[in-house]
Chains A and B, each alone.
Chain A
Amino acid sequence: MADKSFPEARVFSPNTRFHALARRPGGVSRSQAIAGAQARIDEMQPEFGGWLNAEINALVEVVKCLKSGASEPAWIDRALFHSNQLRDVGTTMGFELVSYVANTLSMILDRIKAGADFNLASITCHMDALALVRQESYRHLRPDQVPELLNGLHQIAESVSIVPASGQK
């Protein structure tokens, strides 16, 4: 006999347009899709350098304000916006090292936002690393080709006191 304290679950199969239409014949195969998507990504490549510089410059401006003590309270959200963009876009555009450096910077900023002690040096180190990886000779390298840089950034990230995980996802 069913326990009345546990209401029964309704189980059903929804007929969504996505499931109906995505499985129609005449679609795109995985290899065609990847080639098509990669072609679109390649079309964006000529402008990527300019975008990368603009994003790093925006971060530099935030840090300049921090150094001069003239930063506004929302500086961390501004910094996170640019850092997260670099992290999320770099690898997709073929620049893994950019994503890698931005990822540890975002980690530090997330921790500061969640209450960790503010440590300007940990941020400026990452700015130096970004200045390095924006250079043509560095940006195409994979993270495993610059282990010293990675170890250094990791140590810096670890030094920012860890607080319980925030709601950042």
Chain B
Amino acid sequence: MTERTINLRDLSILIADPSPYLRTLLQGMLRGFGAGKMIEAKDAAEVLQALGKHRIDVLLCDGALPGDGGFVLTRRIRRESGNEHRTMPILLMTSDPRETIVKEGRDAGANMVVAKPLSPGNLYDRLAWVAFNPRQYIDTEGYFGPDRRFKNVGGPDGIGRRRGDAIESVKKTGRAPAQDKIDKVFNATSNGRK
């Protein structure tokens, strides 16, 4: 079987995080993935400014972004009916992978929640997951965003059977153990649980 690839070359990626060092680190990782155009934002106001100025294809946003935070910002982007970025994939990053927080991200309209600290493997897998498993969007009075009852298509490429996997260092395996909990929340709805 041919190995699946993702092509980020002509895509504009908006990286929103308060930490300048982490933004640089993320830029480096994404360049390593072949991404060409990246824009940085340090807070919610800069995200909105960038969305007004540029056509952004994917937003990578910290959940605790200064301003209203990434969760409120996601909800705001999704709710604005005239917003051309309304359906743009949004990946929320959080260092708090508690189930309630992850569900909050999902309910805000995020396409995926990614655990911090990030690793190249973990980030690549989530981007590939969003790219190759596009979900239908739901537009109701109370929610706009990806269908939260998305089909369980298994783990992203490169990820083994989660529960049985040994927890090794992130550098060695390229994934953060906390991500397992997050993926379970995103997959739970496919089994009729919420």
Contacts and interface: CB of A to CB of B under 8 A. Distances in A.
B28 A96 contact: no
Chain B residues touching A, range: 35 or more
Interface in B1-55: 3-11, 17-19, 21-22, 24-25, 28-34, 55
A83 B171 CA distance: 21
A28 interface: yes
Contacts of B104: 169
Contacts of B80: none
A33 B28 contact: no
B24 A38 contact: no
Nearest to B65: A169
Given A13-B134, A30-B128, A85-B21, A103 B34 contact: no
Nearest to A142: B169
Chain A residues touching B, range: 35 or more
Contacts of B118: 88, 92
B125 interface: yes
B28 A13 contact: no
A21 interface: yes
Given A44-B24, A51-B21, A85-B19, A92 B119 contact: yes
B116 A88 contact: yes
A88 B96 CA distance: 11
A88 B95 contact: yes
Contacts of B155: none
Contact of B57 (A17, A29, A84, A96): A17
A147 interface: no
B131 A18 contact: yes
B120 A41 contact: yes
A72 interface: no
Contact of B4 (A29, A81, A92): A29
A27 B21 contact: no
Nearest to A168: B64
11 contacts: A16-B134, A19-B89, A22-B127, A24-B7, A39-B32, A40-B28, A51-B21, A88-B22, A89-B117, A91-B171, A169-B104
Q: List 9 tightest A-B contacts by C-beta distance, closest first.
A: A36-B32, A27-B7, A37-B32, A27-B5, A40-B28, A37-B120, A169-B63, A91-B117, A14-B87
